[in-house]
Amino acid sequence: MKKIILASLASMLLLNTAQASTMASDMVMKDPANVIVSYNPGALFLNFKDDNFMKGQVIVKNSNGEVISTDMLTMKKSMIQIPRHQSGEINIQFGEHDISYRIPIAIGSGRNG
């Protein structure tokens, strides 16, 4: 029992560390310099630095080019739901902008034991 609890605490700590470092090192912006992308399992957050943002549709694709989410941008701070276990390279498209973003690979299979 202690082994399972320690393993889950370690994986949560690693996941939080990965989330903090993802924004700093893994984001490659092709076009807009006024948007910050952050990730939580199951959600992407797009935060625009100024009022110069585009309202409209946003499309998120995985590394195979498959659409994993579509949503509408309506505010400077928008949340886009994506599959909870998504990892690897994703592509975020809105308007003429195109952002590549790498989600860290999750540690563990989710099975206990």
Kindly report whether the global pTM for this prediction surpasses the value 0.85: no
Residue at 45 is within a domain: yes
Distance, in Å, from the CA atom of 43 to the CA atom of 75, rounded to the nearest integer, reads 16
Which residue pairs from 66-74 have beta carbons closer than 8 angstroms and sit at least 24 positions apart in sequence? 69/44, 73/46
Above pLDDT 90, what percent of the chain? Answer: 3
Q: What is the pLDDT of residue 35?
A: 80
> How many domains does the chain divide into?
1
Please report, for the domain that includes residue 62, its CATH number: 2.60.40.3080
What digits encode the pLDDT tens for the residues 53-105? Answer: 667 888 899 888 899 888 888 778 888 888 887 888 888 888 778 888 888 77
**51 lies in which domain range?**
2-103
Asked whether residue 108 is domain-assigned, the answer is no
pLDDT at 52: 62
Cα–Cα nearest to 73, from 105, 99, 41, 40: 99
